[in-house]
Amino acid sequence: MRRTDPSPSRTDALAPDDLFAGQAGAGCSFAQELPPSFYTRVAPRHLREPRLLHVNPAVAALLGLDAAALDAPAFLALCAGSGRLPGVEPVATVYSGHQFGVWAGQLGDGRAHLLGDVAGPQGRWEIQLKGSGRTPYSRMGDGWAVLRSSVREYLASQAMDGLGIPTTQALALVASRDPVIRETPETAAVVTRIAPSFVRFGHFEHWAHSAIEQAALLDYVVAHWFPDCRVGPSADADRPATACRLLAEVTRRTARLMAQWQLVGFCHGVMNTDNMSMLGLTLDYGPYGFMDAFQANHVCNHSDTLGRYAWNAQPAVAQWNLTRLAESLQVLGCLAPDLEAALAPFESVFLQAYYAGMAQKFGLSDWRPEDADLGNAWWKLLHEQRADFTLAFRRLADTDGDARSWLDLFADPQSARQWLDRYQARLAQDPRPQPDRKAAMDRVNPLYVLRNHLAQQAIQAAQQGDASEIDRLMERLQDPYAQRPGDERYAQPPTADTPPVAVSCSS
């Protein structure tokens, strides 16, 4: 990780250096290949006296940027909103969606600007600024993001990537002194994030009643990211079959993503259809959270008063969202039975990924049908005793010898001991040697996750211009499985006297 000098820098007199010289060149396929009705060309409102608080060299490498490029004034200008990709005008895209189960109508990039896309060593990446000012889709918002929420998104994308969970990735975090009013006065910041595409379910929902635009969007998405979904040589005649095949693939990707979220105790917080990625990526980190004390019905978003997006509801919500996506494809001539068939694999794919993950986390060579009872008893035990999600899994690998550190996680060790006896009886049927099992379990059960209180400590330091805690967290989140001597505090849940961190849609 690279921590930058937090001192302010000016960008108003910068030369338009081409950061991507020698590569395949910058462009914006979204604006070049889709009609103007899909977007608005709009410039970001660049930050005054921006400072590059942190940059992720691993993400920069995906774009082909080396250390010298990250030190160039043009890089700061690009990430602060005053620079441009060569020959590309930034755009904000329009989409619609269901928010908290209710049709919200037209939405769109209300505080994000797509700068374009560039070719990296391993493929092409879209570059987007988040928190970069108002667009025609801002509705009543100011288009800014505050440093608090920007730090949370920057860290979250690294946390998910380190866990091997598909996600958008954060390239850079730029801070400023620009005032922003939320519940209290704060300062503005911008996250530069990248993904192969930021196309959402909501982009398709927006054109649910317009066959021409929906067909253009389908053709664009399939051509770039799902070429295997194309059916037949005739785009017009075969488009319904292509759309159904695309829906089936998005269903499978989303189902696997939900299993991954559940297995690490991750709660998204705002699983609206406009926050669902067509590529199966974790998209838009607002009021997210990794659970400390496990509660099956845990709600991380204080704005979610009805608990729609609780941890145990996430797979069902994803399935509901996919159904809304399917409905939007009917305008292409897709028949209801074909769409239902495309949606049908969700449950089986989710359960396959979930059970395979549970087998790995329990250190089992395979998952047997009767193991479902053991898994259900596990969640019941953690829920009733509010045991720490991450440490309960991590310390399970050490219970073959001295189980005291694991039992210490439970208010009633006797109940935990009863479950452990069942678990160890199951392990006796598994031929793997204990040292091999422990090593395998430690490779899938993280020690370090982005707990809310750790993110809050990094935020408070960043608000004083100090990026050192961001730097330390990024290093640990990059490899959350390897134990680091002296890093015990990063693995511990918050103490009883730690002030609770409340996150909401304003986060």
Using one digit for the tens of pLDDT, what is the confidence trace for 3-18? 445 444 444 433 345 6
Nearest residue to 304 (alpha-carbon basis) of 288, 290, 316: 288
Model confidence pLDDT, tens digit, residues 18-65: 687 655 679 999 999 999 999 999 999 989 899 999 999 999 999 999
Q: Are residues 347 and 372 in the same domain?
A: no
Q: Are residues 110 and 42 in the same domain?
A: yes
At residue 50, the pLDDT reads 96
CA atoms within 13 Å, Cβ hemisphere of 81: 31
Q: Are residues 289 and 406 in the same domain?
A: no
Q: Are residues 49 and 73 in the same domain?
A: yes
> What secondary structure letter does DSSP report for 122?
T
Q: Are residues 147 and 24 in the same domain?
A: yes
Q: Are residues 400 and 308 in the same domain?
A: no
Q: Are residues 94 and 182 in the same domain?
A: yes
The last residue of one of the domains, among 146, 173, 198, is 198
At residue 330, the pLDDT reads 98
- pLDDT bracket for residue 107 (50, 70, 90): very high
Look up the domain containing 297 and give its range.
202-354
Look over the chain and give the mean of its residue pLDDT values, rounded to a whole number. 94
Q: Are residues 173 and 225 in the same domain?
A: no
The last residue of one of the domains, among 198, 232, 251, is 198
Positive or negative, the Cα torsion across 451, 452, 453, 454? Answer: positive
Contact call for residues 467 and 54 (beta carbons, < 8 A): yes
Answer whether residue 305 shows pLDDT above 50.
yes
Q: Can 17 be counted among the known catalytic residues?
A: no
Q: Are residues 178 and 251 in the same domain?
A: no
Active-site pick, 109, 117, 161, 274 = 274
Q: Are residues 210 and 186 in the same domain?
A: no
At residue 233, the pLDDT reads 79
Q: Are residues 65 and 188 in the same domain?
A: yes
Please state the three-class secondary structure of 230-279 as a single string: CCCCCHHHHHHHHHHHHHHHHHHHHHHHHHHHHHHCEECCCCCHHHCECC
Q: How many folded domains does the chain comprise? A: 3
CA-to-CA dists, residue 180 to 185, 458, 466, angstroms = 6, 20, 20
At residue 499, the pLDDT reads 83
Contact call for residues 237 and 62 (beta carbons, < 8 A): no
At residue 7, the pLDDT reads 42
At residue 232, the pLDDT reads 86
In a domain, 112, yes or no: yes
Model confidence pLDDT, tens digit, residues 193-237: 999 999 999 999 999 999 999 999 999 999 999 999 999 876 676
Mean pLDDT of 271-275: 98
Q: Are residues 174 and 37 in the same domain?
A: yes
